[in-house]
Amino acid sequence: MERAITITPLGGKPARRPQGKLGDTVANGRLRMLVASLAIAVAFMAVAGQLVRLALSSQFQVTSSLNATIAESFARPDIVDRNGRLLATDVEAQSLFADPTRVIDRDEVVEKLASIFPDLNQVELRKSLSSPHRRFVWIRRGLSPKTAQRIHNLGLPGLAFRRELRRAYPGGALAGHVLGHVNVDNKGVAGFERYLDEVVGVEAVYGATLAERAPARLSLDIGVQHAVEEELATAINRFRARGAAGIVLDIDTGEVLASASLPDVDPARPIMSLDPARIDKVANSTFELGSVFKMVTVAMALDNAVVSLDTMVDVREPLTAGRFTIRDLHPADRPLSVADIFIRSSNVGAGVLALEAGPQRSREFLERLRLLDPIKTEIGPIAAPQVPDQWQESEIITTSYGHGIAVAPLQFAAAAATLLNGGHRVIPTFVKRQPDAERDMVPLIKPATSDDIRRIMRRNVTDPKGTGKRANVAGYPVGGKTGTAEIPGAGGYKKDAVISSFLAAFPMNKPKYLVYVLLFEPKGTGDSGGEVFAGRNAAPTAGRIIRRIGPLLGLLPTSEAAAAQSNRVFDATRLAKYEAR
């Protein structure tokens, strides 16, 4: 039975409070309610404080959870030639992806896509579409509008498109080696496209946002480039060559107006660049160039005052270099002047001149022309020269006529331009330079040496006995030097396999442009008189190129014979189409 005590409030009647177990229960319940109320109040205060802190904070972090991959691409500036004609640009393209969770019939999707993409990896795609946790699978990026429409017409659930940027080349394979190519993310990986990423700058984008940068202007001239490529292709067919290469270079500025290597590559199909036969022979390969190197040897002897053009040299006896004997193809029965050594392309004569100069002066002259060290251009590093390990008598002799040393054609063309422009260093470039670009104030060679080289190069084309007479072009004074080099092989040189080349300059009264043509392993045909020598194939090819590009470069023919070909009225189109006799 419960007991009660009486509590008398101040000024009031006594009140009763439960005693015993019931009283304790009531007191504990009130205490718990008080604690819970305090806890809730503290929690609300904490939340309110956090909200106030975030409201007053200037740092915001936004996170999102995505079920699909966001592909980063690159917006690239256009590439144009020296006259502003388009060579490369970004276009909007559709890229195909799949959401595996929405694909109803994987086999149907794989089968129908394989009918559109024969190279599709069906096993890998079926595996990707079978993943229960994937929401995004790339299938093919950078589709043409026609291909995207074909896929859309299939009506397959789970397939969709995203807009991205894709690189387009309006000229197709034109200047493909120079332009290079990009990868699937539109990032440059070779050629001038890589230069854009590394130097000019590209913009990382998501989707199909075009770049706002100004176009990048190359030194190339599309018209000249097309003419060179077409004439080289004709020469390959005419002389049954395995390949060809050609360069057109501004002798004063070093600007490359054309650079062609056949077989060519399509910049829109990067896989073509993996074919060894399609390597860029102009910049990415080195070759023993043969007798065209004699212009360097003669220039070295003249510049060091070892000889003059009229100095007579006894070339009647062969030279011995170690276990090798050097002879001339058409031995002379009398001593030859230095000019005749150049014109008749005497190996013995070139060897004698190099021996007279000695190893130190010979090597120093090659170093001065930057023929012994690697160089770099906007399309990447030029293949490094392969030079002798030591400079003994045998190396001096063989190097004098272009064997035992291998350089990239572009590097040799730059050195030859230096010999022709008065001795000012030429650094090849694929970017258009300003007309007032700085030049070396001190020439690398004497101006008189350059004059002599121009004189004998012109004579080599006009002289009936000159090896370059088939490069003569009416209306355009041409000078040049031939080179027929044996190709190294296992255990020696290949039999009946040569590189025939011709280095030309015009107009020779004041040379402005250099043209260098190389034919790889040409055969003796009816057009070459059954011979493989450069004078019968590379020289006439260079002449046809000069005949075509002269008007394109704004050079008018100067002789009456050229005017007569157009009824004494200059017609650039007719002159460009005129074929050699």
Query: Tens digits of per-residue pLDDT, 156-174?
Result: 999 999 998 999 999 999 9
Residue 25 has pLDDT above 80, yes or no: no
Q: What is the pLDDT of residues 281-318, one digit of tens each?
A: 999 999 999 999 999 999 999 999 999 999 999 999 99
pLDDT of residue 18: 53
pLDDT of residue 170: 95
| DSSP H or E run through 350 | helix 347-357
Pairwise pLDDT comparison (261 vs 142), residue with the higher score: 261
Q: What does DSSP say about strands 72-75 and 203-206: parallel, antiparallel, or unpaired?
A: antiparallel
Alpha helix positions (H), 209-322: 222-239, 294-303
342-346, 433-437, 561-565, range with greatest mean pLDDT:
342-346
Residue 564 has pLDDT above 50, yes or no: no
* For residues 365-387, average pLDDT: 96
Least confidently predicted of 107-121, 174-188, 205-219, 504-518: 205-219
* For residues 33-43, average pLDDT: 79
Alpha helix positions (H), 439-571: 447-462, 538-552, 560-565
pLDDT of residue 441: 64
30 three-class SS: helix
Give one DSSP letter per residue of 175-220, joined into a string: THHHH-EE-TTS-EEEHHHHHIIIII--EEEESSPPP-SPPEEBS-
Question: Can you read off the two tokens belonging to residue 162?
Answer: 């995203």
Q: What is the pLDDT of residues 544-558, one digit of tens each?
A: 999 999 999 999 888
pLDDT of residue 378: 96
pLDDT of residue 531: 94
pLDDT of residue 206: 82
Which is nearest to 259 in space by CA: 469, 420, 431? Answer: 431
pLDDT of residue 20: 57
pLDDT of residue 450: 96
Q: What is the pLDDT of residues 314-333, one digit of tens each?
A: 999 999 877 778 888 888 88
Residue 63 has pLDDT above 80, yes or no: no
* For residues 334-363, average pLDDT: 94
Pairwise pLDDT comparison (394 vs 260), residue with the higher score: 260
Report the distance separating Cα 513 and Cα 261, nearest Å. 19
Least confidently predicted of 134-148, 176-190, 539-553, 561-575: 561-575
Confidence of residue 26 (pLDDT cuts 50, 70, 90): low
Least confidently predicted of 225-239, 401-415, 433-447, 556-570: 556-570
Residues 6+ apart with CB under 8 A from 221: 81, 82, 83, 257, 258, 552, 553
Pairwise pLDDT comparison (574 vs 77), residue with the higher score: 77
* For residues 491-512, average pLDDT: 91
What are the residues facing 72 on neighbouring strands? 206
* For residues 182-201, average pLDDT: 95
Report the distance separating Cα 494 and Cα 288, nearest Å. 13
Residues with catalytic function: 291
Confidence of residue 131 (pLDDT cuts 50, 70, 90): confident
Side-chain-side CA neighbours of residue 471 (13 Å):
35
* For residues 562-572, average pLDDT: 42
Residue 88 has pLDDT above 60, yes or no: yes
Q: For residue 45, count CB atoms less than 10 angstroms from its CB and return exposed for 0-12, middle for 13-18, buried for 19 or more.
A: exposed
The per-residue pLDDT of the chain, averaged, comes to: 87
Confidence of residue 60 (pLDDT cuts 50, 70, 90): very low
Residue 563 has pLDDT above 50, yes or no: no
Domains of the chain: 76-96+164-218 (3.90.1310.10), 223-577 (3.40.710.10)
Q: Please identify which residue in the block is written with the tokens 């002289």.
A: 463
